[in-house]
Chain A
Amino acid sequence: MITIQWVYTLAGAVFAAFALLGLRDASNPRRWGTSAFWGLLALSMWAGDSLGDFGNGVLVLCLVAIAGFGLLGKGTSGEVPAEARRERSETFGNGLFTVALIIPITALVGTFVFKQIPEWVDPRQTTLISLGLGVLIALGAGYAWLRAGALVPLEQGRRLMDSVGWAAILPQMLASLGAVFALAGVGEVVGDIVRLAIPEGSLFGAVVAYALGMALFTMVMGNAFAAFPVMTAAIGIPLLIERYGGEPAIVCAIGMLAGFCGTLMTPMAANFNLVPAALLELKDEYGVIRRQVGTAIPLLAVNILLIWWLAF
Protein backbone atom coordinates (compact mmCIF):
# COMPACT_ATOMS: atom_id res chain seq x y z
CA MET A 1 0.00 0.00 0.00
CA ILE A 2 1.18 3.49 -0.80
CA THR A 3 1.58 5.45 2.45
CA ILE A 4 2.77 8.89 3.48
CA GLN A 5 6.24 7.38 3.97
CA TRP A 6 6.54 7.08 0.16
CA VAL A 7 6.00 10.84 -0.10
CA TYR A 8 8.57 11.45 2.66
CA THR A 9 11.02 9.22 0.79
CA LEU A 10 10.47 11.26 -2.37
CA ALA A 11 10.85 14.55 -0.48
CA GLY A 12 14.02 13.18 1.16
CA ALA A 13 15.43 12.36 -2.28
CA VAL A 14 14.71 15.89 -3.49
CA PHE A 15 16.35 17.47 -0.41
CA ALA A 16 19.32 15.11 -0.76
CA ALA A 17 19.69 16.18 -4.41
CA PHE A 18 19.61 19.84 -3.33
CA ALA A 19 22.35 19.08 -0.79
CA LEU A 20 24.59 17.21 -3.26
CA LEU A 21 24.14 19.64 -6.16
CA GLY A 22 24.72 22.55 -3.78
CA LEU A 23 28.21 21.28 -3.03
CA ARG A 24 29.17 21.90 -6.67
CA ASP A 25 27.99 25.53 -6.57
CA ALA A 26 31.28 27.41 -6.17
CA SER A 27 29.42 30.74 -6.38
CA ASN A 28 27.89 30.08 -2.95
CA PRO A 29 30.42 31.10 -0.27
CA ARG A 30 28.55 29.08 2.37
CA ARG A 31 27.88 25.96 0.36
CA TRP A 32 28.98 23.54 3.09
CA GLY A 33 26.50 24.89 5.63
CA THR A 34 23.78 25.14 3.02
CA SER A 35 24.40 21.59 1.88
CA ALA A 36 24.42 20.30 5.48
CA PHE A 37 21.08 22.01 6.13
CA TRP A 38 19.27 20.34 3.21
CA GLY A 39 21.09 17.09 3.93
CA LEU A 40 19.75 17.06 7.49
CA LEU A 41 16.25 17.67 6.15
CA ALA A 42 16.71 14.71 3.79
CA LEU A 43 17.76 12.61 6.78
CA SER A 44 14.65 13.76 8.67
CA MET A 45 12.38 12.81 5.77
CA TRP A 46 14.03 9.43 5.25
CA ALA A 47 14.82 8.26 8.76
CA GLY A 48 12.83 10.53 11.10
CA ASP A 49 10.83 7.60 12.45
CA SER A 50 13.93 5.62 13.46
CA LEU A 51 15.92 8.49 14.99
CA GLY A 52 13.89 8.55 18.18
CA ASP A 53 12.43 11.67 19.84
CA PHE A 54 15.74 12.89 21.27
CA GLY A 55 17.56 12.10 18.00
CA ASN A 56 15.06 14.24 16.10
CA GLY A 57 15.54 16.96 18.72
CA VAL A 58 19.30 16.91 18.13
CA LEU A 59 18.65 17.10 14.39
CA VAL A 60 16.57 20.24 15.00
CA LEU A 61 19.37 21.68 17.16
CA CYS A 62 21.79 21.19 14.26
CA LEU A 63 19.41 22.84 11.78
CA VAL A 64 18.94 25.80 14.10
CA ALA A 65 22.68 26.06 14.73
CA ILE A 66 23.38 26.20 10.98
CA ALA A 67 20.73 28.89 10.47
CA GLY A 68 21.51 30.76 13.69
CA PHE A 69 25.23 31.06 12.98
CA GLY A 70 24.47 32.34 9.48
CA LEU A 71 26.00 29.35 7.70
CA LEU A 72 23.29 29.25 5.04
CA GLY A 73 23.90 31.12 1.81
CA LYS A 74 22.97 31.12 -1.83
CA GLY A 75 24.91 31.20 -5.04
CA THR A 76 24.64 33.50 -8.02
CA SER A 77 25.10 30.93 -10.76
CA GLY A 78 22.60 28.71 -12.49
CA GLU A 79 19.98 31.24 -13.49
CA VAL A 80 18.89 30.89 -17.12
CA PRO A 81 19.52 34.20 -18.97
CA ALA A 82 16.40 36.29 -19.60
CA GLU A 83 16.97 36.16 -23.37
CA ALA A 84 16.95 32.35 -23.41
CA ARG A 85 13.85 32.24 -21.23
CA ARG A 86 12.02 34.64 -23.54
CA GLU A 87 12.89 32.57 -26.60
CA ARG A 88 11.78 29.38 -24.91
CA SER A 89 8.54 30.95 -23.69
CA GLU A 90 7.73 31.85 -27.30
CA THR A 91 8.57 28.35 -28.47
CA PHE A 92 6.44 26.57 -25.88
CA GLY A 93 3.69 29.16 -25.44
CA ASN A 94 0.70 28.62 -23.20
CA GLY A 95 1.46 24.90 -22.90
CA LEU A 96 3.71 25.98 -20.02
CA PHE A 97 0.58 26.82 -18.04
CA THR A 98 -0.76 23.34 -18.78
CA VAL A 99 2.31 21.69 -17.24
CA ALA A 100 2.05 24.08 -14.28
CA LEU A 101 -1.54 22.95 -13.77
CA ILE A 102 -0.66 19.23 -13.64
CA ILE A 103 0.17 19.33 -9.91
CA PRO A 104 -3.03 21.02 -8.69
CA ILE A 105 -5.20 18.94 -11.02
CA THR A 106 -3.55 15.68 -9.91
CA ALA A 107 -4.03 16.73 -6.28
CA LEU A 108 -7.69 17.41 -6.89
CA VAL A 109 -8.40 14.26 -8.93
CA GLY A 110 -6.28 12.01 -6.73
CA THR A 111 -8.10 13.12 -3.60
CA PHE A 112 -11.34 11.78 -5.04
CA VAL A 113 -10.07 8.74 -6.97
CA PHE A 114 -7.75 7.35 -4.28
CA LYS A 115 -10.69 7.20 -1.88
CA GLN A 116 -12.15 4.48 -4.08
CA ILE A 117 -9.11 2.20 -3.73
CA PRO A 118 -8.30 2.27 0.01
CA GLU A 119 -6.50 -1.09 -0.22
CA TRP A 120 -3.92 0.53 -2.57
CA VAL A 121 -3.53 4.03 -1.16
CA ASP A 122 -3.69 5.13 2.47
CA PRO A 123 -7.08 6.89 2.48
CA ARG A 124 -6.03 9.35 5.22
CA GLN A 125 -3.14 10.75 3.20
CA THR A 126 -4.56 11.04 -0.30
CA THR A 127 -3.87 14.78 -0.64
CA LEU A 128 -0.13 14.55 0.02
CA ILE A 129 0.25 11.34 -1.98
CA SER A 130 -1.52 13.06 -4.89
CA LEU A 131 0.83 16.02 -4.54
CA GLY A 132 3.85 13.73 -4.83
CA LEU A 133 2.31 11.95 -7.80
CA GLY A 134 1.53 15.28 -9.49
CA VAL A 135 5.16 16.35 -9.13
CA LEU A 136 6.32 13.13 -10.79
CA ILE A 137 3.83 13.49 -13.67
CA ALA A 138 4.73 17.15 -14.22
CA LEU A 139 8.44 16.28 -14.25
CA GLY A 140 7.74 13.49 -16.73
CA ALA A 141 5.84 15.93 -18.95
CA GLY A 142 8.74 18.37 -18.68
CA TYR A 143 11.28 15.77 -19.73
CA ALA A 144 9.13 14.47 -22.59
CA TRP A 145 7.76 17.73 -24.01
CA LEU A 146 10.25 20.44 -22.99
CA ARG A 147 13.20 18.05 -23.36
CA ALA A 148 14.61 19.45 -20.15
CA GLY A 149 18.10 18.23 -19.28
CA ALA A 150 18.18 15.50 -16.64
CA LEU A 151 19.42 17.77 -13.85
CA VAL A 152 17.62 20.97 -14.89
CA PRO A 153 14.61 20.60 -12.55
CA LEU A 154 16.78 19.70 -9.56
CA GLU A 155 19.34 22.45 -10.28
CA GLN A 156 16.64 25.10 -10.75
CA GLY A 157 14.69 23.78 -7.77
CA ARG A 158 17.82 24.00 -5.65
CA ARG A 159 18.34 27.59 -6.72
CA LEU A 160 14.82 28.46 -5.58
CA MET A 161 15.27 26.46 -2.37
CA ASP A 162 18.49 28.30 -1.53
CA SER A 163 16.80 31.66 -2.01
CA VAL A 164 14.04 30.59 0.39
CA GLY A 165 16.75 29.45 2.82
CA TRP A 166 16.05 28.66 6.46
CA ALA A 167 12.57 30.16 6.15
CA ALA A 168 11.66 26.88 4.44
CA ILE A 169 11.30 25.13 7.80
CA LEU A 170 9.77 28.07 9.68
CA PRO A 171 6.22 26.64 9.44
CA GLN A 172 7.39 23.20 10.63
CA MET A 173 9.34 24.79 13.50
CA LEU A 174 6.34 26.86 14.55
CA ALA A 175 4.12 23.78 14.46
CA SER A 176 6.63 22.08 16.79
CA LEU A 177 6.75 25.11 19.10
CA GLY A 178 2.99 24.81 19.25
CA ALA A 179 3.40 21.24 20.50
CA VAL A 180 5.79 22.35 23.28
CA PHE A 181 3.38 25.17 24.18
CA ALA A 182 0.63 22.56 24.40
CA LEU A 183 2.78 20.36 26.66
CA ALA A 184 3.54 23.32 28.94
CA GLY A 185 -0.10 24.40 29.04
CA VAL A 186 0.41 27.82 27.40
CA GLY A 187 -2.90 27.45 25.63
CA GLU A 188 -4.70 26.98 28.97
CA VAL A 189 -3.07 30.10 30.45
CA VAL A 190 -3.71 32.27 27.39
CA GLY A 191 -7.17 30.72 27.17
CA ASP A 192 -7.89 31.52 30.85
CA ILE A 193 -6.90 35.12 30.22
CA VAL A 194 -8.96 35.38 27.05
CA ARG A 195 -11.93 33.59 28.65
CA LEU A 196 -11.97 36.19 31.43
CA ALA A 197 -12.86 38.69 28.73
CA ILE A 198 -15.77 36.63 27.36
CA PRO A 199 -19.18 37.41 28.80
CA GLU A 200 -20.49 34.11 30.25
CA GLY A 201 -22.97 32.34 27.99
CA SER A 202 -22.50 34.69 25.07
CA LEU A 203 -21.96 32.80 21.80
CA PHE A 204 -21.18 36.00 19.91
CA GLY A 205 -18.70 37.03 22.63
CA ALA A 206 -16.94 33.68 22.28
CA VAL A 207 -16.76 34.03 18.47
CA VAL A 208 -15.31 37.54 18.82
CA ALA A 209 -12.78 36.34 21.38
CA TYR A 210 -11.69 33.47 19.12
CA ALA A 211 -11.27 35.54 15.95
CA LEU A 212 -9.77 38.56 17.71
CA GLY A 213 -7.53 36.28 19.73
CA MET A 214 -6.34 34.61 16.52
CA ALA A 215 -5.52 38.00 14.96
CA LEU A 216 -3.77 39.42 18.06
CA PHE A 217 -1.83 36.26 18.88
CA THR A 218 -0.82 35.99 15.21
CA MET A 219 0.52 39.55 15.39
CA VAL A 220 2.61 38.57 18.41
CA MET A 221 3.87 35.35 16.86
CA GLY A 222 4.17 36.68 13.31
CA ASN A 223 2.45 33.60 11.95
CA ALA A 224 -1.08 32.27 12.12
CA PHE A 225 0.35 28.73 12.26
CA ALA A 226 1.61 29.37 15.77
CA ALA A 227 -1.51 31.11 17.01
CA PHE A 228 -3.90 28.55 15.60
CA PRO A 229 -3.19 25.57 17.91
CA VAL A 230 -3.23 27.82 20.99
CA MET A 231 -6.45 29.71 20.31
CA THR A 232 -8.21 26.64 18.95
CA ALA A 233 -7.31 24.59 22.02
CA ALA A 234 -8.30 27.47 24.33
CA ILE A 235 -11.56 28.67 22.77
CA GLY A 236 -12.27 27.03 19.43
CA ILE A 237 -12.63 23.43 20.60
CA PRO A 238 -13.91 23.70 24.20
CA LEU A 239 -16.28 26.64 23.68
CA LEU A 240 -17.24 27.09 20.03
CA ILE A 241 -17.26 23.45 18.96
CA GLU A 242 -18.00 21.44 22.11
CA ARG A 243 -20.22 23.76 24.15
CA TYR A 244 -22.03 25.68 21.39
CA GLY A 245 -21.98 22.90 18.76
CA GLY A 246 -20.18 24.84 16.02
CA GLU A 247 -19.16 23.07 12.82
CA PRO A 248 -15.43 22.26 13.33
CA ALA A 249 -14.44 22.75 9.67
CA ILE A 250 -16.01 26.22 9.47
CA VAL A 251 -14.77 27.43 12.86
CA CYS A 252 -11.19 26.39 12.10
CA ALA A 253 -11.01 27.35 8.41
CA ILE A 254 -12.32 30.88 8.98
CA GLY A 255 -10.51 31.18 12.31
CA MET A 256 -7.23 30.59 10.46
CA LEU A 257 -8.17 33.39 8.02
CA ALA A 258 -8.88 35.73 10.95
CA GLY A 259 -5.29 35.01 11.92
CA PHE A 260 -4.15 35.95 8.40
CA CYS A 261 -5.73 39.38 8.99
CA GLY A 262 -3.29 39.70 11.90
CA THR A 263 -0.39 38.66 9.63
CA LEU A 264 -1.13 41.70 7.46
CA MET A 265 -0.65 44.02 10.44
CA THR A 266 2.58 42.85 12.07
CA PRO A 267 6.29 43.42 11.46
CA MET A 268 6.83 39.96 12.98
CA ALA A 269 5.74 38.54 9.61
CA ALA A 270 8.93 39.92 8.14
CA ASN A 271 8.95 37.92 4.93
CA PHE A 272 5.58 39.34 3.86
CA ASN A 273 5.74 42.84 5.31
CA LEU A 274 9.33 44.01 5.75
CA VAL A 275 11.18 42.16 2.96
CA PRO A 276 9.06 43.69 0.15
CA ALA A 277 9.51 47.18 1.63
CA ALA A 278 13.26 46.63 1.38
CA LEU A 279 12.99 45.09 -2.11
CA LEU A 280 11.03 48.10 -3.35
CA GLU A 281 13.41 50.50 -1.59
CA LEU A 282 10.65 52.22 0.35
CA LYS A 283 11.77 54.92 2.76
CA ASP A 284 9.18 53.76 5.30
CA GLU A 285 9.90 50.15 6.27
CA TYR A 286 6.31 49.86 7.56
CA GLY A 287 4.88 51.30 4.32
CA VAL A 288 3.46 47.96 3.20
CA ILE A 289 1.82 47.32 6.59
CA ARG A 290 0.24 50.80 6.49
CA ARG A 291 -1.46 49.98 3.19
CA GLN A 292 -2.70 46.62 4.55
CA VAL A 293 -4.31 47.73 7.82
CA GLY A 294 -7.29 49.28 6.01
CA THR A 295 -8.07 45.91 4.42
CA ALA A 296 -7.21 43.74 7.43
CA ILE A 297 -9.51 45.37 10.01
CA PRO A 298 -12.79 45.31 8.02
CA LEU A 299 -11.94 41.79 6.80
CA LEU A 300 -11.46 40.66 10.40
CA ALA A 301 -14.94 41.97 11.18
CA VAL A 302 -16.31 40.04 8.19
CA ASN A 303 -14.61 36.86 9.42
CA ILE A 304 -16.19 37.24 12.85
CA LEU A 305 -19.63 37.55 11.27
CA LEU A 306 -18.97 34.63 8.90
CA ILE A 307 -18.09 32.27 11.76
CA TRP A 308 -21.14 33.42 13.69
CA TRP A 309 -23.52 32.97 10.73
CA LEU A 310 -22.12 29.87 9.05
CA ALA A 311 -20.84 27.66 11.85
CA PHE A 312 -23.90 27.68 14.12
Chain B
Amino acid sequence: MWVLLGIAVIVAGFVLRFNPLLVILVSALVTGIAAGLDPVAIIAAFGRAFNEARYVSVVWLVLPVVGMLEAFGLQERARALIERMRGATVGRLLTGYMLLRQATAAVGLISIAGHAQTVRPLVAPMAEAAGDRQAEVLGEDEREEVKAWSAATDNVGVFFGEDIFLAIGSILLIKGLLEQYGYDIEPLHLSVWAIPTAIAAALIHGFRLWRLDRRLNRLGLAEDGA
Protein backbone atom coordinates (compact mmCIF):
# COMPACT_ATOMS: atom_id res chain seq x y z
CA MET B 1 0.00 0.00 0.00
CA TRP B 2 2.86 2.42 0.87
CA VAL B 3 4.11 2.32 -2.72
CA LEU B 4 1.10 4.49 -3.61
CA LEU B 5 2.90 7.35 -1.83
CA GLY B 6 4.69 7.96 -5.14
CA ILE B 7 1.36 8.82 -6.73
CA ALA B 8 0.60 11.21 -3.87
CA VAL B 9 3.96 12.89 -4.56
CA ILE B 10 3.01 13.33 -8.23
CA VAL B 11 -0.33 14.91 -7.37
CA ALA B 12 1.10 17.18 -4.65
CA GLY B 13 4.06 18.14 -6.82
CA PHE B 14 1.88 19.25 -9.71
CA VAL B 15 -0.60 21.03 -7.47
CA LEU B 16 2.28 22.94 -5.83
CA ARG B 17 3.77 23.65 -9.29
CA PHE B 18 7.23 22.16 -8.81
CA ASN B 19 9.22 21.32 -11.93
CA PRO B 20 7.61 18.13 -13.31
CA LEU B 21 10.98 16.43 -13.96
CA LEU B 22 11.89 16.95 -10.30
CA VAL B 23 8.47 15.68 -9.19
CA ILE B 24 8.87 12.53 -11.30
CA LEU B 25 12.31 11.78 -9.87
CA VAL B 26 11.18 12.33 -6.26
CA SER B 27 8.15 10.16 -6.91
CA ALA B 28 10.43 7.40 -8.20
CA LEU B 29 12.62 7.66 -5.09
CA VAL B 30 9.66 7.63 -2.68
CA THR B 31 8.08 4.69 -4.49
CA GLY B 32 11.32 2.72 -4.51
CA ILE B 33 12.05 3.36 -0.83
CA ALA B 34 8.48 2.39 0.09
CA ALA B 35 9.07 -0.87 -1.76
CA GLY B 36 12.25 -1.50 0.28
CA LEU B 37 14.82 -0.68 -2.40
CA ASP B 38 17.98 1.22 -1.51
CA PRO B 39 18.55 4.61 -3.21
CA VAL B 40 21.45 3.40 -5.34
CA ALA B 41 19.32 0.57 -6.71
CA ILE B 42 16.48 3.00 -7.46
CA ILE B 43 18.80 5.40 -9.33
CA ALA B 44 20.20 2.46 -11.29
CA ALA B 45 16.73 1.13 -12.11
CA PHE B 46 15.63 4.58 -13.25
CA GLY B 47 18.79 5.03 -15.33
CA ARG B 48 18.35 1.65 -16.96
CA ALA B 49 14.73 2.45 -17.86
CA PHE B 50 15.71 5.90 -19.13
CA ASN B 51 18.32 4.37 -21.40
CA GLU B 52 15.90 1.77 -22.72
CA ALA B 53 13.27 4.45 -23.39
CA ARG B 54 15.57 6.61 -25.54
CA TYR B 55 13.50 5.76 -28.60
CA VAL B 56 10.75 7.98 -27.17
CA SER B 57 12.96 11.08 -27.55
CA VAL B 58 14.24 10.20 -31.04
CA VAL B 59 11.25 12.10 -32.42
CA TRP B 60 13.04 15.46 -31.79
CA LEU B 61 15.24 14.56 -34.76
CA VAL B 62 12.60 16.20 -36.95
CA LEU B 63 13.09 19.68 -35.43
CA PRO B 64 15.87 20.76 -37.84
CA VAL B 65 13.59 19.93 -40.78
CA VAL B 66 10.62 21.71 -39.20
CA GLY B 67 12.80 24.71 -38.29
CA MET B 68 14.21 24.90 -41.80
CA LEU B 69 10.75 24.77 -43.41
CA GLU B 70 9.39 27.39 -41.03
CA ALA B 71 12.30 29.69 -41.88
CA PHE B 72 11.26 29.32 -45.52
CA GLY B 73 7.67 30.28 -44.82
CA LEU B 74 5.83 26.98 -44.26
CA GLN B 75 3.57 28.58 -41.65
CA GLU B 76 2.83 31.56 -43.91
CA ARG B 77 1.93 29.14 -46.68
CA ALA B 78 -0.36 27.17 -44.36
CA ARG B 79 -1.88 30.43 -43.18
CA ALA B 80 -2.65 31.52 -46.74
CA LEU B 81 -4.28 28.16 -47.30
CA ILE B 82 -6.59 28.62 -44.31
CA GLU B 83 -7.33 32.29 -44.96
CA ARG B 84 -8.68 31.52 -48.42
CA MET B 85 -11.72 29.86 -46.81
CA ARG B 86 -14.78 32.09 -47.27
CA GLY B 87 -18.10 32.24 -45.42
CA ALA B 88 -16.40 31.25 -42.20
CA THR B 89 -18.28 30.93 -38.93
CA VAL B 90 -16.63 30.06 -35.62
CA GLY B 91 -17.97 26.52 -35.86
CA ARG B 92 -17.01 25.95 -39.49
CA LEU B 93 -13.60 27.54 -39.06
CA LEU B 94 -12.76 25.50 -35.97
CA THR B 95 -14.21 22.29 -37.43
CA GLY B 96 -12.05 22.85 -40.50
CA TYR B 97 -9.03 23.49 -38.32
CA MET B 98 -9.73 20.39 -36.25
CA LEU B 99 -9.93 18.20 -39.37
CA LEU B 100 -6.77 19.76 -40.79
CA ARG B 101 -5.01 19.23 -37.46
CA GLN B 102 -6.20 15.62 -37.31
CA ALA B 103 -5.11 14.97 -40.88
CA THR B 104 -1.66 16.52 -40.49
CA ALA B 105 -1.09 14.88 -37.10
CA ALA B 106 -2.06 11.57 -38.67
CA VAL B 107 0.89 11.86 -41.04
CA GLY B 108 3.20 12.91 -38.22
CA LEU B 109 3.18 16.68 -38.80
CA ILE B 110 2.48 17.57 -35.20
CA SER B 111 4.62 20.66 -34.78
CA ILE B 112 3.43 22.52 -37.87
CA ALA B 113 0.68 23.89 -35.62
CA GLY B 114 0.09 24.38 -31.93
CA HIS B 115 -1.00 26.81 -29.25
CA ALA B 116 1.94 29.16 -29.67
CA GLN B 117 2.47 28.78 -33.40
CA THR B 118 -1.08 28.87 -34.76
CA VAL B 119 -3.79 29.20 -32.12
CA ARG B 120 -2.77 32.51 -30.61
CA PRO B 121 -1.61 34.39 -33.73
CA LEU B 122 -4.03 32.86 -36.21
CA VAL B 123 -6.90 30.62 -35.19
CA ALA B 124 -8.18 32.53 -32.16
CA PRO B 125 -8.22 35.95 -33.90
CA MET B 126 -9.92 34.42 -36.96
CA ALA B 127 -12.49 32.73 -34.75
CA GLU B 128 -13.11 35.98 -32.87
CA ALA B 129 -13.61 37.84 -36.14
CA ALA B 130 -16.07 35.22 -37.36
CA GLY B 131 -17.87 35.36 -34.02
CA ASP B 132 -18.08 39.14 -34.21
CA ARG B 133 -19.89 38.82 -37.54
CA GLN B 134 -22.26 36.15 -36.26
CA ALA B 135 -23.26 37.79 -32.98
CA GLU B 136 -22.93 41.39 -34.16
CA VAL B 137 -20.34 42.02 -31.47
CA LEU B 138 -19.23 39.34 -29.01
CA GLY B 139 -19.72 40.09 -25.33
CA GLU B 140 -16.69 39.71 -23.08
CA ASP B 141 -17.75 36.27 -21.83
CA GLU B 142 -18.45 34.98 -25.35
CA ARG B 143 -15.11 36.34 -26.55
CA GLU B 144 -13.33 34.42 -23.77
CA GLU B 145 -15.34 31.36 -24.69
CA VAL B 146 -14.50 31.55 -28.40
CA LYS B 147 -10.79 31.85 -27.57
CA ALA B 148 -10.98 28.87 -25.20
CA TRP B 149 -12.78 26.84 -27.91
CA SER B 150 -9.89 27.60 -30.28
CA ALA B 151 -7.31 26.09 -27.91
CA ALA B 152 -9.60 23.17 -26.97
CA THR B 153 -10.14 22.36 -30.64
CA ASP B 154 -6.39 22.24 -31.26
CA ASN B 155 -6.01 19.71 -28.44
CA VAL B 156 -8.88 17.52 -29.62
CA GLY B 157 -7.58 17.58 -33.20
CA VAL B 158 -4.02 16.64 -32.36
CA PHE B 159 -4.83 14.09 -29.61
CA PHE B 160 -7.19 12.14 -31.81
CA GLY B 161 -5.10 12.36 -34.96
CA GLU B 162 -1.54 11.74 -33.81
CA ASP B 163 -1.95 8.08 -32.89
CA ILE B 164 -2.73 7.29 -36.53
CA PHE B 165 0.94 8.13 -37.24
CA LEU B 166 3.29 5.16 -36.97
CA ALA B 167 6.27 6.77 -35.29
CA ILE B 168 4.54 8.77 -32.56
CA GLY B 169 5.70 8.32 -28.95
CA SER B 170 2.53 6.71 -27.64
CA ILE B 171 2.42 4.09 -30.39
CA LEU B 172 6.08 3.25 -29.72
CA LEU B 173 5.33 3.05 -25.99
CA ILE B 174 2.48 0.60 -26.58
CA LYS B 175 4.73 -1.48 -28.82
CA GLY B 176 7.49 -1.48 -26.21
CA LEU B 177 5.21 -2.50 -23.36
CA LEU B 178 3.51 -5.29 -25.30
CA GLU B 179 6.95 -6.59 -26.31
CA GLN B 180 7.82 -6.99 -22.62
CA TYR B 181 4.84 -9.32 -22.29
CA GLY B 182 5.80 -11.29 -25.38
CA TYR B 183 3.40 -9.75 -27.90
CA ASP B 184 5.24 -8.53 -30.99
CA ILE B 185 2.96 -6.04 -32.71
CA GLU B 186 3.62 -3.80 -35.72
CA PRO B 187 3.17 -0.03 -35.18
CA LEU B 188 0.92 -0.01 -38.26
CA HIS B 189 -1.35 -2.58 -36.67
CA LEU B 190 -1.71 -0.32 -33.61
CA SER B 191 -2.17 2.92 -35.48
CA VAL B 192 -5.08 1.71 -37.66
CA TRP B 193 -7.07 1.12 -34.45
CA ALA B 194 -6.77 4.81 -33.62
CA ILE B 195 -8.99 5.61 -36.61
CA PRO B 196 -12.46 4.76 -35.15
CA THR B 197 -11.86 7.02 -32.14
CA ALA B 198 -10.52 9.77 -34.41
CA ILE B 199 -13.79 9.71 -36.36
CA ALA B 200 -15.87 9.72 -33.16
CA ALA B 201 -13.87 12.67 -31.78
CA ALA B 202 -14.47 14.66 -34.98
CA LEU B 203 -18.21 13.92 -34.85
CA ILE B 204 -18.65 14.75 -31.16
CA HIS B 205 -16.53 17.89 -31.16
CA GLY B 206 -17.94 18.98 -34.54
CA PHE B 207 -21.49 18.62 -33.20
CA ARG B 208 -20.62 20.79 -30.20
CA LEU B 209 -19.10 23.43 -32.50
CA TRP B 210 -22.27 23.36 -34.63
CA ARG B 211 -24.31 24.04 -31.49
CA LEU B 212 -21.94 26.91 -30.60
CA ASP B 213 -22.62 28.37 -34.05
CA ARG B 214 -26.37 28.18 -33.52
CA ARG B 215 -26.03 29.94 -30.19
CA LEU B 216 -23.86 32.70 -31.64
CA ASN B 217 -26.26 33.14 -34.57
CA ARG B 218 -29.18 33.48 -32.15
CA LEU B 219 -27.25 36.19 -30.31
CA GLY B 220 -26.89 38.01 -33.63
CA LEU B 221 -30.63 37.68 -34.39
CA ALA B 222 -31.54 38.96 -30.92
CA GLU B 223 -29.25 41.91 -31.53
CA ASP B 224 -30.93 42.63 -34.88
CA GLY B 225 -34.38 42.47 -33.31
CA ALA B 226 -33.49 44.93 -30.57
Contact = CB atoms under 8 A, between A and B. Distances in A.
Contact of B119 (A59, A276, A287, A298): A276
B70 to A, nearest CB: 7
Contacts of B151: 276-277, 279-280, 288, 291
B58 A8 contact: yes
A14 B43 CA distance: 27
A10 B145 CA distance: 44
A93 interface: yes
A273 B120 CA distance: 14
A193 B40 CA distance: 30
Given A131-B61, A170-B21, A152 B152 contact: no
B180 to A, nearest CB: 9
23 contacts: A11-B58, A14-B64, A51-B47, A56-B51, A80-B71, A85-B71, A89-B76, A96-B72, A111-B188, A127-B166, A166-B20, A172-B50, A173-B50, A177-B6, A181-B31, A222-B10, A257-B197, A268-B14, A272-B115, A279-B151, A280-B120, A288-B151, A295-B205
A292 interface: yes
Interface of B: 1, 3-4, 6-7, 10-11, 14, 18-22, 24-25, 27-28, 31-32, 34-35, 37, 40, 42-77, 80, 107-109, 111-112, 115-116, 119-120, 124, 144-145, 147-152, 154-156, 159-160, 163, 165-167, 169-174, 176-178, 181, 183-191, 193-194, 196-197, 200-201, 204-205, 208
Contact of A272 (B75, B116, B155, B205): B155
Given A184-B31, A283-B144, A257 B160 contact: yes
B39 to A, nearest CB: 10
Q: Is the interface of B mostly helix, strand, loop or mixed?
A: helix
A146 B63 CA distance: 17
A164 B166 CA distance: 22
Contact of A248 (B19, B49, B120, B185): B185
Q: Is the interface of A mostly helix, strand, loop or mixed?
A: helix
A220 B11 contact: yes
A171 B56 contact: yes
B21 A67 contact: yes
A92 B166 contact: no
A138 to B, nearest CB: 5
Nearest to A280: B147
Contacts of B24: 64, 170, 173-174, 176-177
B74 A249 contact: no
A239 interface: no
Given A131-B167, A179-B46, A292 B190 contact: no
A176 B50 contact: yes
Contacts, number: 422
B197 A302 contact: yes
How big is the A interface, by class?
35 or more
A121 interface: no
A60 B25 contact: yes
Contacts of A54: 40, 43-44, 47
Contacts of A63: 21
B212 to A, nearest CB: 9
A156 B77 CA distance: 18
Contacts of B32: 180, 183-184
Given A57-B47, A180-B46, A186-B7, A254 B148 contact: no
Contacts of B177: 228-229, 232, 252
A151 to B, nearest CB: 10
Contacts of A257: 159-160, 163, 194, 197
A280 B125 CA distance: 10
A73 interface: no
Contacts of B58: 7-8, 11, 128, 131-132
A103 interface: yes
Contacts of A164: 60
Interface stretch (A28-36, A41-49, A198-206): A41-49
B206 to A, nearest CB: 10
A290 B148 contact: yes
A154 B56 CA distance: 20
A271 to B, nearest CB: 8
A119 interface: no
A171 B173 CA distance: 10
A80 B152 CA distance: 29
Contacts of B14: 222, 267-268, 270
A180 B21 contact: no
B115 A252 contact: no
Contacts of B156: 264, 292, 295
A229 B46 CA distance: 15
B26 to A, nearest CB: 9
A23 interface: no
Contact of A253 (B56, B119, B163, B201): B163
Contact of B55 (A56, A128, A267): A128
B194 A263 contact: no
